[in-house]
Amino acid sequence: MKNIIKNKIILVTGGTGSFGKAFIKRILEENPKAIRVYSRDELKQHEMQIAFGNDKRLRFFIGDVRDKQRLSRACNGADYIVHAAALKHVLACEYNPIEAIKTNIYGAINVIDAALDNNIEKVIALSTDKASQPINLYGATKLCSDKLMVQANNYRGKRHTKFSVVRYGNVMASRGSVIPFFYDQAKQGKLTITDDEMTRFWISLDEAVEFVLDSFPLMKGGEIFVPKIPSMNIIDLAEVIAPKAEMEIIGLRPGEKLHESLISAEESLYTYDIGNRYMIEPSSVVNWENESIKYSQKKEVPLDFTYTSLNNPDYLTKKQMRAQLKKLNLHSK
C-alpha cells in the first residue's frame, strides 16, 4: 500500500463527507504528495482544514461534480481519483429525481471525462447495495453510474486510465444512517421500525476505507468489487441501541426494500470469489480476458448464487453489534 499511495496526488470527490474524511485521514499515513478535497460546502472544508491541523498536503477545491470544467481543473496533475460524491438519501432522491440524476449520473460522466482528459492513472467509484436490483431512484442512478464507470474502460483509447467500482452496504454511523437516527429516537423512548423482518448489510467506516485502499493495487479496470460483510435484522439493531424503548412498526417508505442485495442472480454469472471479496467481471470490456487471468486465485460462485442481506451466512448477533457500537463510541452510556 505504501508503494501505491506514496508521493501520489489523490483527488477525492465528496471529500468532506463521512467516507471522504475517514479516507483522507487514513491515506495521510501513507505519505502522499498531496490530497485534493473536492466538495461544494465551504464551511465543511474550513472545519476539515482546522480538524486536520492545516496539513500542507491537503488542497481544498470548492466545486461540484456537475461542473465539468471546474472538476477537470481540480484533476490536473493528479494520479488517482476516489469518486465519493453523490446524493445518497433515498427519500430525497425519490422527491428530487432530476437533482439525483444530475449529480449521480451526469456527475459520474464528468468524472470519467475529467479523468481521461487529464490522464489519471486509476479511478475508483463508490457504489451501494441499492444499485443491485434497484427499486428506488438512488439505486437506479448508482447502477447507471456503475455501468458508466465500467464501460469507460472501453473508450480510453491509448490512455492508461483504469476505472473500477466498489459496492458495499450500510456504513455504520455514517451521516443519515439508521444508527444515529435510532440513538436520537431513543432519547424520546420510542423507535420507529419500517418492518420487523427487514435486514441490512453492515460495514464500519474503517473497513470501507481499507476496502477501497486494498482495491487500488488489485484493480485491472472494469471490476465491481464487493466485500464479504455481515448482515443484521433491523429490529435486533434497534433492541441493541434501545432495549427498553417502545418499537413502532410504520411500514416501508417510498423506494425502500425489505432486504438489500449486493450481487443479483444475473450478476452471479460474472461473479468470482477472490478471497476477502467477490469480483463482478465486466461482461463487455475490451481485452478483459487478458486482464482477468491475473486473478489466479479466483473461484466461480455457484450457478444459483445471490448475495443478499437475507441469505447472507454471516449474521451479526446483538452481542457483536453491541461490541461494534462500543468500538465506535456510540454505545448507550
Joined together, the cell numbers standing for residue 162 give 483504469
What size, in residues, is the chain? Answer: 333
Whether pLDDT at 238 is above 50: yes
297-300 long-range contacts (CB < 8 A, ≥24 apart) are: 298/272, 298/273, 298/274, 299/272, 299/273, 299/274, 300/272, 300/273
C-beta separation of 87 from 97 below 8 A: no
Q: What is the mean pLDDT of residues 235-256?
A: 93
Residue 315 sits at φ, ψ, to 5 deg, of -110, 135
In the structure, what pLDDT confidence band is assigned to residue 331 with cuts at 50, 70 and 90? low
Confidence of residue 294 (pLDDT cuts 50, 70, 90): confident
Predicted TM-score (pTM) of this structure = 0.94
Q: What pLDDT, on the 0 to 100 scale, is given for residue 297? A: 84
How much of the chain, in percent, has pLDDT values that exceed 70?
A: 98
The CATH label, of 3.20.20.80, 3.40.50.720, 3.30.1330.10, 3.30.2040.10, for the domain at 2-169+202-228+261-308 is 3.40.50.720
Task: Check residue 273 and give its pLDDT.
Answer: 96
139 exposure class (CB count in 10 Å sphere: 0-12, 13-18, 19+): buried
Q: CB atoms < 10 A from the CB of 39, how many?
A: 23
Identify the active-site residue in 8, 88, 122, 130. 130
Q: Cα(140)–Cα(169) distance, rounded to whole angstroms? A: 15
Give the model confidence (pLDDT) of 61-81 as tens digits: 999 999 999 999 999 999 999
Reported as a pLDDT band with limits 50, 70 and 90, residue 148 is very high
Active site residue 299: no
Distance CA 11, CA 78 (A): 7
The mean per-residue pLDDT over the stretch 94-123 comes to 97
Mean pLDDT, to the nearest integer, of 127-131?
97
pLDDT tens digits along 50-61: 999 999 999 999
Interatomic CA distance for residues 206 and 214, integer angstroms: 12
Residue 273: enclosing H or E segment and its boundaries? strand 271-273
Q: What mean pLDDT, rounded, does the chain reach? A: 94
Whole-number pLDDT of residue 292:
77
The answer to whether 144 and 155 are in contact (CB under 8 A) is: no
Residue spans per domain, the chain: 2-169+202-228+261-308
Q: Is the pLDDT of residue 333 over 50?
A: no
Q: What percentage of the chain exceeds 90 in pLDDT?
A: 86
Residues 308-320, mean pLDDT to the nearest whole number: 95
pLDDT band for position 1 (50/70/90)? low
